[in-house]
Amino acid sequence: MKFNKLLDNCKIYEAGKPIELVVRDYGVDTKDIIKLASNENPYGTSPKVVEKIASLSKNMFMYPDDSMYELKEALGKKFSVTSDNIIIGSGSDQVIDFLVKAKCSENSKMLMSRTTFAMYEIYGRQAGAQIIKTKDDEHNLAQFEEMYESQGADIIFLCLPNNPLGECLDRDDVYAFLAKVDKETLVIIDGAYQEYASFKDSKKRIDPADLIEKFPNAVYLGTFSKAYALGGMRVGYGIGQTSIIKTMYKLRPPFNISTLSLAAAIEAIKDEEFVQKCIALNFEEMTRYEEYAKQRGFEYIESYTNFITIKFDSNYLSSEVAQKLLERGIIIRDLTGYGLNAIRITIGSKEQNTRVFKVLDEVLEDLKKVENL
């Protein structure tokens, strides 16, 4: 059977391995498995959200409020924008899909960092767009500017902070670059981890209202999957000028998030105390990973997220390290597929991280012994 030829060049997005698969393939007891591959919040969801969802369990037969009025009002108040500036998606991934479909067609161009969120390229190739990448893995605005001037772009993606590496550009540098971008070029600022970056360094903070006022061609993306701990609920959002949002609504299917997802997001945004506590614990634990890397002589990327990227030299292969950890019940992300000899580890709880260090020591020692045979 023949399908759309544009799909021939599309890769399949590979999510972190589920716990169930590790149990089945390696016989590890469920209680001994630590999943640190998908950047989920290790402290779980706000108790207030859990209580709210439990109270709505009898309403699952009902469609959600398709206007999503209450959630958009809450987001509007949080970011000082109006409901007309907001669109809700099934994860921010769906909003990316809307934007690419709205702007791109065959022969369109999309500019992004060499190593960044894989779905940008996947959605672009589905639309038939030409993918242009910078030479550096981390965001380099000088390279963005050079390639934009020489090749142009219909869409520019800036992932701030960047997934899967963790680095983040300063807001003033981003604004200086955006000032040079043509107003017909759509700029997508992916702020999936902005809550973390803003907490760690105010110079990284992108304010959506300020962004879209200064740059009407920019759209800000956010999600409830990370700091708000609703990865399983799949709720994201886009903030932009009304004209852009109205265009995206032409692509939005009805009831694109569930009744429970909508209720969870509404409740989660009310509990900022829980979110800030989780973020503070995240960076406390991240210092342990930084110290571990230093002690081992490994390079790491300073992270403004809830994960850390650790690079290996020629003494170790990240694919082997990740596999050995997996066999022992610790799920992390191998970045070999990005052309990097590195692993990405979600920052877990104190107890989880303590076990990770112990098992990682054992794995590295075992691999070293094999090398010396």
pLDDT above 80: residue 2: no
pLDDT at 165: 98
pLDDT at 17: 62
CATH architecture under which domain 5-44+273-372 falls: Alpha-Beta Complex (3.90)
| Rounded average pLDDT over 235-253 | 97
pLDDT above 70: residue 226: yes
Q: Alpha-carbon distance 285 to 171, whole Å?
A: 26
pLDDT at 233: 94
Question: 72: exposed, middle or buried (C-beta count within 10 Å: 0-12, 13-18, 19+)?
Answer: buried
Q: What's the pTM?
A: 0.93
pLDDT at 32: 77
244 versus 55: the higher-pLDDT residue is 244
Helix or strand holding residue 25 (H, E): helix 19-26
Percent of the chain with pLDDT over 70: 94
Percent of the chain with pLDDT over 90: 85
pLDDT above 80: residue 18: no
* Confidence at 373, pLDDT banded by 50, 70, 90: very low
Radius of gyration of the chain (CA): 21
Q: Alpha-carbon distance 348 to 102, whole Å?
A: 38
**Among the listed residues 335, 325, 326, 333, the one whose alpha carbon sits nearest the alpha carbon of residue 357:** 325
Question: 369: exposed, middle or buried (C-beta count within 10 Å: 0-12, 13-18, 19+)?
Answer: exposed
Point out which residues pair with 156 in neighbouring strands. Answer: 111, 187
pLDDT at 46: 94
Q: Where are the domains of the chain?
A: 5-44+273-372, 47-271
Q: What is the mean pLDDT of the chain?
A: 93
The dihedral over CA atoms of 316, 29, 279, 15, expressed in degrees to the nearest 10, equals 60
Domain 47-271, classified CATH 3.40.640.10, yes or no: yes
